[in-house]
Amino acid sequence: MVGLWGVFLAGLFEGGLAGAELCPGQSPLWGGVALAEGLQEVPSAKPPLAGEPSKPAKPPCAPTGAHGADSWPMERIELADGRTLMGLIESVDDRWVHMLVIKREPGRRTQLVVRPVERSAVVRMERLPEPDRVHLQERVAVLAFHARIEAARMEAVELEKKVQNKIPVFLYAGRWFSLESNLPEQMTRRVIVRLEQIFSGYRQLLPPRTESHRPLRIQIFSSRMEYEEAIGRYGVRLANPAVFLPKENLVLAGTELGQVAAQLQQLEEEHARLRQ
């Protein structure tokens, strides 16, 4: 059960299992997951068993970029203000350099961001040899394909909408869990798609020994304050971003996802404006 909610948090806050790239020795558990019984915080790494010699800590991952065993060969733009952008240069003309910036961080999905840069702000450009460039284009195409699949799945999610305290709340009833969320609709859909992927994968790897007669309920809040108020009603006081209540078969989770959703919406609108 502990492992399940560790993966739950990783999928919810860091982008799910598909496409996640974990650094060796680094846990995807974000902030720990709490069990209400005993109010014990679960650490992200297991201590050695009694009599078992402790293992030396593994070195941190090599930084993403042009070096490191697991790095992608990328093209580079150096700007006059000292910044460096890594990714795939899509086009160059007298006024603009259009670059697909590739962000790769341990434990998170690879991110693609379209960045038009004024040519006058570019101090130096490093291009890849053609074979490496083709390989990078293929990797980018795979990521874009997965993004389109997820978008289609998001649109297929059946949601029920209600208004609670003048705030839209979305309800979902799935095969393995039901979910209630006051996040924006698109983020709620994204969370549901990724949770379904996590549950499906877990049931294939670790089939349940018995089937619960009570469906699991998940409630997600768009702010930390709402989350703390909710767990307080159950007599729980924890710093963890999620808690599992065994008696209720209920997961409560929340952080400042509402702000993240608003920032994401602003970025999407800005990208749409730049493409025009």
- Domains in the chain (CATH in brackets) are 2-43+158-262 (3.40.30), 75-155 (2.30.30)
Question: Residue 126 in contact with residue 76, Cβ under 8 Å?
Answer: yes
Tokens representing 3? 């492992």
Beta bridge partners of 76: 86, 126
CB 97 within 8 A of CB 126: no
Q: Which residues contact 144 (CB under 8 A, 6 or more apart)?
A: 112
Is 253 exposed, middle or buried, given 0-12, 13-18 or 19+ CB atoms closer than 10 A? buried
Its pTM surpasses 0.75: no
Q: What is the structure's pLDDT at 85?
A: 92
pLDDT at 169: 92
Residue ranges of the chain with per-residue pLDDT less than 50: 1-4, 6-7, 10-11, 13-69
Distance (Å, rounded) from C-alpha 153 to C-alpha 174?
14
Q: Would you state the pLDDT for residue 47?
A: 42
Give the pLDDT of residue 147.
Answer: 66
Q: Give the tokens for residue 170.
A: 């979305």
Alpha carbon distance 178, 169 (integer Å): 13
- Residue 154's DSSP bridge partners are none
Contact at 8 Å (CB) between 61 and 68?
yes
**Listed residue (54, 75, 17) closest to 193, CA to CA:** 17
